[in-house]
Amino acid sequence: MSAAETRGRAHDDGAQRLADRTAVITGAGRGLGRACAVRYAEAGADLLLLDVASDHPGVPYPLASPAQLAETARRCSEFGVEVVTSVADITDASTVDRAIDLALDRFGGIDVLLNNAGIAAPSGKPIHEIREDEWQLMLDVDLSGAWRLMKAVAPVMVEQRGGSIVNVSSTAGMVGYRNFAAYVAAKHGLIGLTRAAALDYAPYGVRVNALCPGSVRDDPLLEGRMLGEIARSLDVPADEHEAAFVQAQPTNSLVEPADVAGAALWLAGDEARQVTGSLLAVDGGFTVR
């Protein structure tokens, strides 16, 4: 009996949405990346988990660590799936290509790509104060990083005649935010990239969609810190910043990481087989206003 068949016996059919499939997840060390990785593992997917797993001199806060990436892998392995990790810098095409080769050598194919890796800062200043290197770094990570993964994975999916690419954008890809021009530009660009790619790959059965989370609570169990870093960039206390976001959302609550992970799972699976080029906002109604 194969490992996939064994896993299928351990879970009910409804939970095994991604059984016999392989998913690649970037930014898997913590936060939303970890939440999505665990949800995919629960659904039966074998995983390649990628993270830069080191700090960057241009990013004014600590990035995920090797230990955090290993912890994500440990939690995913508890569901009986095969999990491989790779330290990869998505601003470097050669490390991206090596990571994808690793997945192909281990699993033989790639069915889902979740482009989750991204940074929220350097931010917190008007356009005329943004330095050239700050602008370039934001676009290189939050936009070009996803393009590099798609460039590496799309030929595999084309040959397979099927696959799902989920690009994690943001409500910042749908509306503007004051003092976050580079981040907003990158996330808007990611939506444009998603739409163009959906047209490029639709003839081959490859779907490409954008997931747009709103203000997501920093769950200590996931070691997430995105909302906190946005508050720091704006030089406001984290609790005041969180309260302001709660008040701005029609549901009067922050989005939970599990809400985003559930949407990412739906976009990856067969239930969304006719969904491509779409934006799925998980934002408590924020962008409806």
Q: How far is CA 215 from the centre of its chain?
A: 15
122: preceding bond cis by omega (within 30 degrees): yes
Q: Would you call 183 a catalytic residue per the annotation?
A: yes
User: Considering Cα of 178, then 180, then 182, then 186, what sign does the dihedral take?
Assistant: negative
Q: Which two tokens stand for residue 180?
A: 């976050």
CB atoms within 10 A of CB 18: 25
Q: Which of 40, 183, 201, 204 is catalytic?
A: 183
96-101 long-range contacts, CB within 8 A, separation 24+: 96/148, 96/149, 96/152, 97/152, 99/24, 99/48, 99/50, 100/24, 100/149, 100/152, 100/153, 100/156
Type of residue at 117: A
Q: What are the catalytic residues?
A: 183
